[in-house]
Structure 1
């Protein structure tokens, strides 16, 4: 699979400098770059265990890490997080992710169904059957975390969403794709935005 080269700023990462590795972490195509061991551990164990997941994205955004540090995790209290009700797994923080034994627990906590996981005290992780699905899963998690952080800062009493509405929201999401694969419309739109701003990622 392909993984970001270690040491480059995200703005420098493009198609031609992605590093191709095997499931054991061996670089299988000639490159001047190398791979972050922590990133390799996380991605490799999920790819090895979950063949339905072909793309994995992991972030350390301010909003994502804020929610990851909260005991209750992501609360289904807004439009976006309602769509994620009972769809997110959690994994406790074990320090820098370089201990090979942590692979077992990462896979166990993700389970065989979840496509999204909050790494407690660490960040967000989203997978998908396609790049587009991984993108929309991560986007929904990030927006949910941003809104939760903003609502918490407001200090006002929050309006709960009933379990019935939460379950209905998740069911309705599955039929709102206009016959398109999950995330395809949103990912296509975002690609068009990026193409206008800076198409160098294709190089």
Structure 2
């Protein structure tokens, strides 16, 4: 995160009535996701990011993505105030909101370098950062870690993520693994859809929460490689053939709608 940007609060730019319907749908889904994160307490003041790469039907093949306006809490994000930027962080939709360089530097590298990275999520939850700071990282000791066998990557801490030269090293660390622990920093997930990415991050977050609770009481019972491999094969929440997290995400959006549906604005 970056604290050197001016703390101004300009008016958000409205979504133009002629906006492409695919962009409108992407904006509403992403804004709903920010509200889901706020409801779950996965917030860090005005920091951290969830980004979505816009489809070619909107961009004509150019790599563009939506990001939260810097200065707003997740509970204030709406479909219209999300900012459309390119891989260099250039604002493309006339928004007057600033964009946090720590957001587009990492997220742009992933959206650009991983063809399947439609959505990227990053958090600084207490459990996530705690496990990221632990020498052994995430350990195979609970129901949730057993569903992430072979799916977790690690990237060493290089400081605040505002330097573009870290991008290639981050991509090398990630490889093709969708769940990422940024050492000394936090959690990251990417996926082919927003709900799939959410399902991966939720599972990783729960694994960290349970590990933190377990280790506070003493030594944990390890899960064998054989059992973990089987659990990961049997876990269906990430699979496109079984909805890839869509049903879980929809249920949470319904909760948000009952609380405050202003994210659709």
| Matched residues, number | 201
Taking structure 2 as the reference length, what is the TM-score of the superposition?
0.73
* 1:130 paired to 2:193: yes
1:22 equivalent among 63, 86, 89: 86
8 A contact 2:237–2:245 mirrored in 1: no
Task: Please state how far the C-alpha of 1:184 moved relative to its aligned partner.
Answer: 1.0
Residue 220 of structure 2 is matched in structure 1 by 158
Partner Cα distance (2:66, 2:142) in 1: 34
Q: Deviations over 1:107-137 (max 9, x none)?
A: 11111x2111110000000111001001111
3-state SS of 2:181 partner: strand
* 1:181 paired to 2:238: no
Residue 71 of structure 1 is matched in structure 2 by 135
- Runs (5+) with no aligned partner, structure 1: none
Residue 110 of structure 1 is matched in structure 2 by 174
Partner Cα distance (1:31, 1:117) in 2: 31
Taking structure 1 as the reference length, what is the TM-score of the superposition?
0.94
Task: Please state how far the C-alpha of 1:47 moved relative to its aligned partner.
Answer: 0.5
Task: Please state how far the C-alpha of 1:42 moved relative to its aligned partner.
Answer: 0.5
The equivalences for 1:71-110 within 5 A come to 71-110=135-174
3-state SS of 2:122 partner: strand
Task: Please state how far the C-alpha of 1:179 moved relative to its aligned partner.
Answer: 4.4
3-state SS of 1:2 partner: strand
3-state SS of 2:98 partner: coil
Instruction: Choose 166-175 or 116-125, whichever is displaced more.
Output: 166-175
Instruction: Choose 171-180 or 6-15, whichever is displaced more.
Output: 171-180
1:170 equivalent among 218, 223, 232: 232
Partner Cα distance (2:236, 2:201) in 1: 17
* 1:178–1:107 Cα change, 3 Å: closer
Partner Cα distance (1:143, 1:61) in 2: 11
Partner Cα distance (2:69, 2:92) in 1: 13
Task: Please state how far the C-alpha of 1:95 moved relative to its aligned partner.
Answer: 0.7
Task: Please state how far the C-alpha of 1:181 moved relative to its aligned partner.
Answer: 2.4
Task: Please state how far the C-alpha of 1:186 moved relative to its aligned partner.
Answer: 0.9
* 1:63–1:162 Cα change, 3 Å: same
* 1:44 paired to 2:99: no
8 A contact 2:238–2:245 mirrored in 1: no
Q: Give the CA RMSD over aligned residues.
A: 1.5
Partner Cα distance (1:102, 1:58) in 2: 16
- Runs (5+) with no aligned partner, structure 2: 1-64
